[in-house]
Amino acid sequence: MSRVIDLTRESLHHIVIVGGGAGGLELATRLGDTLGRRGKAAITLIDQARTHLWKPLLHEVAAGSLNSHDDELEYLAQAKWHHFRFRLGRMEGLDRAKREIYVAPTHDDAGNEIVPRRTFRYDTLVIAVGSVTHTFGTPGAREHCRMLDTTEQAARFHKHLINTCLRAHTQPGPIEPGQLTVAIIGGGATGVELAAELHETTRELYAYGLDKIEPEKNVRIVIIEAAHRILPGLPERLSAAADKELRELKIHIFTGERVVEVSAEGVRTASGLFIPARTVVWAAGIKAPDFLANLDGLEVNHLHQLKVLPTLQTTRDPNIFAMGDCASCPQPGSNQPVPPRAQAAHQQAMLLAKSLSRRLQGKPLPEYVYRDYGSLVALGRYTTVGNLMGGLARGGLMIEGMIARFVYWSLYKKHQIALHGAFRVVLSTLATFINAPNKPRVKLH
């Protein structure tokens, strides 16, 4: 099997980052602006996608309330602006003895090879490949559920949603049971936020002329959660506030219902409940990508997450670091690892930007300590609920409404500032507000 060897300048320490999600891209940008710009190290970012979109926005892309092309960032352009290199491809293997990673070939939609299989040498490797949906082996889930792991999946869901509504609007017969039902398996943040966005989208489609799509009559949005309440990982009062808001929107919520089968006709739970639904979204759990389980002996947990030390170095190789959702990082004084949240990935990126600079100088590495600044859940344009200072007793300070919405919005702006700087973000935000009246509230194609 032939491979193309990537020859980085041998005189420079080569830092390879695999995964251009929130944490990986922030790290590559910071390292490029410091070590890369000054010629102290060569930085390479590898990702199987060509563009970056902040993952917490995928539910908005799926519902059509966000056009992904407006917010996507081109990796090649970011690399040029911030003194690192971007290489397109999916990591498929590792040789720790040779300090080499193997990247699979990239093909176009017709199956033609665009980029050949390649080998990249590294001195320091950072794995930041994020997470994927975990269906727990549920029969029919892979065949009949739609996932929201990538921008492409979210865009395909939106196209399916629009086509489903157009078909229902133009068909000669009545709306069939389950035809316009969206069943969301999983009542975590993704499921809850998606439900609220879909509620608004269907009403916008009705307002734009699809008058056979009567939201109060034909459209049904359902959340199915195995735990006794939605948002089970967040404080109970936040869960109760979100539950109240969703029920007022006439969104159906079934808690304590474990899904045991998904078919083309709908969803069946362990209690015998059957919910007719032609569109089913799985948002019930995550795990690290499967290839990490066989990565040249690196230690993983049952979710295929790479086990790391407090320094974020993998337990069996000090030259390899892992961060974000794909890493199982211990929390001091707790039996639970750091939760897979965007704020954790951001914190780890900031730490590693300092750590890798210290590593080049032969200095000891600092240890990561997770700081929980709270959680926020946006329920479309209706409201936002959340808590700040989540590490405090009793779940921190509860916030709702406009204040919570502003804090939620500022989190994304903080991510953008880390990538572009404050000046560019202010200009782009102003341009978005100015241009908003010229665009429909939801994407219609």
At 154-186, the pLDDT tens digits run 999 999 999 999 999 999 988 999 999 999 999
- pLDDT average, residue stretch 409-427: 80
| pLDDT band, very low/low/confident/very high, at 4 (cuts 50, 70, 90) | low
Q: Is 164 within a domain?
A: yes
Q: Which of 391, 386, 353 is nearest to 371 (CA)?
A: 391
- What is the bridge-based pairing of β-strands 259-262 and 266-269? antiparallel
Could you say which of 360, 378, 397 is where a domain stops?
360
At 16-33, the pLDDT tens digits run 999 999 999 999 999 999
Is 279 a residue whose pLDDT tops 70? yes
Residues 6+ apart with CB under 8 A from 134: 284, 285, 286, 287, 303
- pLDDT average, residue stretch 412-420: 81
Q: Is 209 within a domain?
A: yes
Higher pLDDT, 63 or 402: 63
This prediction has a pTM of 0.90
Looking at the structure, tell me whether residues 81 and 159 fall in a common domain: no
**What pLDDT is attached to residue 374?**
76
Looking at the structure, tell me whether residues 210 and 236 fall in a common domain: yes
Is 280 a residue whose pLDDT tops 80? yes
Q: What is the dihedral sign for C-alpha 321, 322, 328, 334?
A: positive
Is 55 a residue whose pLDDT tops 80? yes
| pLDDT band, very low/low/confident/very high, at 7 (cuts 50, 70, 90) | low
Is 391 a residue whose pLDDT tops 60? no
- pLDDT average, residue stretch 83-94: 97
Q: Is 439 within a domain?
A: no
- Domain hosting residue 219, numbered range: 136-284
Is 309 a residue whose pLDDT tops 60? yes
Q: Is 353 within a domain?
A: yes
**What pLDDT is attached to residue 431?**
74
- What is the bridge-based pairing of β-strands 274-276 and 266-269? antiparallel
At 174-228, the pLDDT tens digits run 899 999 999 999 999 999 999 999 999 999 988 888 888 888 888 999 999 999 9
E strand residue ranges, 22-104 = 41-47, 51-52, 73-74, 85-88, 90-95, 100-104
β-pair partners for 94: 101
Contact (CB, 8 A) for 102 and 3: yes
Looking at the structure, tell me whether residues 84 and 189 fall in a common domain: no
At 322-353, the pLDDT tens digits run 999 999 999 887 888 999 888 899 999 999 99
What is the CATH classification number for the domain harbouring 115?
3.50.50.60
- pLDDT average, residue stretch 354-380: 90
Backbone angles phi, psi at 282, to 5 degrees: -100, 115
Residues 6+ apart with CB under 8 A from 14: 8, 41, 42, 44, 121, 122, 123, 124
Q: Is 310 within a domain?
A: yes
Q: Is 423 within a domain?
A: no
Q: Which of 166, 165, 146 is nearest to 157 (CA)?
A: 146
| pLDDT band, very low/low/confident/very high, at 143 (cuts 50, 70, 90) | very high
Looking at the structure, tell me whether residues 60 and 185 fall in a common domain: no
The structural domain count of the chain equals 2
Looking at the structure, tell me whether residues 356 and 267 fall in a common domain: no
**What pLDDT is attached to residue 2?**
52
Looking at the structure, tell me whether residues 111 and 61 fall in a common domain: yes
Looking at the structure, tell me whether residues 85 and 162 fall in a common domain: no
What is the CATH classification number for the domain harbouring 227?
3.50.50.100
